[in-house]
Amino acid sequence: MVCAGDTAKTATATLSPFIALHGSCYKYIRPYRARLGSLRARAPLIKMSAEPTKDEWSDRVKALKTAVSNIVMDGDKDAVTHPRTLKRYVEAVRRSPLANQAEFYVLDVASAAGEPGLTIAHAFPQARVSLTDYSPAMLAWGKERTQEQGLTDRVTSAVANAEHMPEIRDASIDLVTCSYGLPFFDHVKGLREFRRVLKPGGLLLATNWARADEVDLGLILKEVAHALDPDAAPPLDACRLGDIPSFKQCLTAAGFDHAEVDIFNNPNGFVPGKAAEFLLHSSPLVPFLQKLESQGQENVQGRARTAVDEVLRKHQYLQPDGSVQFDRTIAHFYEARASHQ
Ligand SMILES: C[S@@+](CC[C@H](N)C(=O)[O-])C[C@H]1O[C@@H](n2cnc3c(N)ncnc32)[C@H](O)[C@@H]1O
């Protein structure tokens, strides 16, 4: 893991556990990003960005919703983010001085469908929350959930790149949250931005997946990709920040003190017959498979399907009823303070 001059590419969009948008969606992002200029100087609360209208986006969000509804998390079938993760955000805020403040400002980075920002807004009526994400399609989902939950008076949303958020003033935010977002962009740049926008002593709460050998899905993605083409560059490694000492060093280098980590497990799985659909159509394998197809490899989808089945069987993830159970999705919940210097 690198803490200076990191070269990690901004990844395709993903949702927990590892849902991905097709890279092709990103050609539509630029016009929305251009709107960020108008948001400058209005921090801390960011204005609602326009709803994306492209058919492709709504199709993509529909596919993502289907994928999420097929994930089973401790019996909570409709959860967008694992309840065990969300609980940690709420508890950390409850322990902090923010819980006693009359008002506090939250910047939720890489919020996708709006988490953990919406959960925090529910738990703390004094929280004013800005949901941000690089992907307008994801953000539209967060906005939809904000409306459904009746939180539009205190929760806004805006397209923003975590690596560079000029629309947010220095030292204007009390709490930055980033749940399973940092592996998908340049974490060094992102952490520096989090530190810049936080007030001195402000709180950073972030979750990362552990190393790939501690996350069943990470292992599967690697093995399927290797079975298809051992020489190809592997798909996006959502577990790349899973080494705790290295990530703590990154926090210190970015200007955070008192970093603490809580290691926990989010077992999850898929309803019968849906794991392969997720892996082939909504995970970081999607751009990987597209690349193999563009290189002229034959029957990529068919071979991928076979590889997925073999890997699921080999590791005994497949249950007799056709459902898939992942027992290990180890995650790291970090709590750190922006230094006073
Ligand atoms: C796994 S999802 C986040 C899930 C969400 N926070 C939750 O806990 O349910 C990762 C998100 O990172 C976003 N993302 C990727 N690159 C980004 C960037 N440079 N800036 C902001 N968001 C980014 C993706 O669009 C995607 O929605």
pLDDT in tens, the chain (341 residues): 667 544 333 333 334 455 544 333 333 333 333 333 333 333 334 433 344 445 656 666 676 777 777 777 766 655 678 889 999 999 999 999 999 999 999 999 999 899 999 999 999 999 999 999 988 888 888 999 999 999 999 999 999 999 999 999 999 999 999 999 999 899 999 999 999 999 999 999 999 999 988 999 888 988 999 999 999 877 778 889 999 999 999 999 999 998 999 999 988 888 888 888 888 887 888 888 988 999 999 999 999 999 999 999 999 999 888 889 888 999 999 999 999 87
Q: Which of 1, 10, 2, 4 is nearest to 186 (CA)?
A: 10
Q: Is the sign of the CA dihedral 312, 318, 322, 327 positive or negative?
A: negative
193 within ligand 1 shell (Cβ under 6 A): no
CA of 8 to the centre of ligand 1 (A): 14
Q: Do 142 and 23 form a contact (C-beta atoms < 8 A)?
A: no
- Element spanning 303, H or E: helix 300-314
Show me where the domains of the chain are located.
Answer: 14-212+237-269+330-338
Name the E strands within 226-308.
256-265, 268-270
CA of 138 to the centre of ligand 1 (A): 8
Check residue 234 and give its pLDDT: 76
Cβ atoms < 10 Å from Cβ of 128: 17
The residue whose CA has the least distance to atom 7 of ligand 1 is: 115
Look at residue 136 and give its three-state secondary structure.
helix
Question: Distance of CA 139 to CAs 109, 201, 241, Å?
Answer: 11, 28, 24
Q: Which of 241, 267, 219, 260 is nearest to 76 (CA)?
A: 267
Q: What are phi and psi of 269, to 5 degrees?
A: -175, -170
13 within ligand 1 shell (Cβ under 6 A): yes
CA of 267 to the centre of ligand 1 (A): 21
Residue to probe by mutation, ligand 1, list 184, 236, 268, most atoms within 8 Å of CB: 184
Check residue 195 and give its pLDDT: 98
Between CA 288 and CA 304 the distance in angstroms is: 11
CA 213 to chain centre: 19
Query: For residue 183, is the peptide bond before it cis, meaning its omega torsion is within 30 degrees of 0?
Result: no
Q: Which fold has domain 14-212+237-269+330-338?
A: Rossmann fold (3.40.50)
CA 194 to chain centre: 15
Cβ atoms < 10 Å from Cβ of 122: 17
Between CA 326 and CA 341 the distance in angstroms is: 43
Between CA 221 and CA 238 the distance in angstroms is: 10
Q: State pTM to two decimals.
A: 0.84
68 within ligand 1 shell (Cβ under 6 A): no
Name the E strands within 82-144.
104-108, 127-133
Check residue 55 and give its pLDDT: 60
For residue 238, the ligand 1 atom closest to its alpha carbon is: 1
Question: Distance of CA 99 to CAs 92, 105, 256, 285, Å?
Answer: 9, 12, 21, 41
15 within ligand 1 shell (Cβ under 6 A): yes
Q: Do 118 and 146 form a contact (C-beta atoms < 8 A)?
A: yes
Look at residue 43 and give its three-state secondary structure.
coil
Token pair recorded at residue 237:
């490694």
Three-point CA angle 212, 216, 220, nearest 5°: 85
163 within ligand 1 shell (Cβ under 6 A): yes
161 within ligand 1 shell (Cβ under 6 A): yes
Q: Is the sign of the CA dihedral 7, 9, 10, 16 positive or negative?
A: negative
81 within ligand 1 shell (Cβ under 6 A): yes
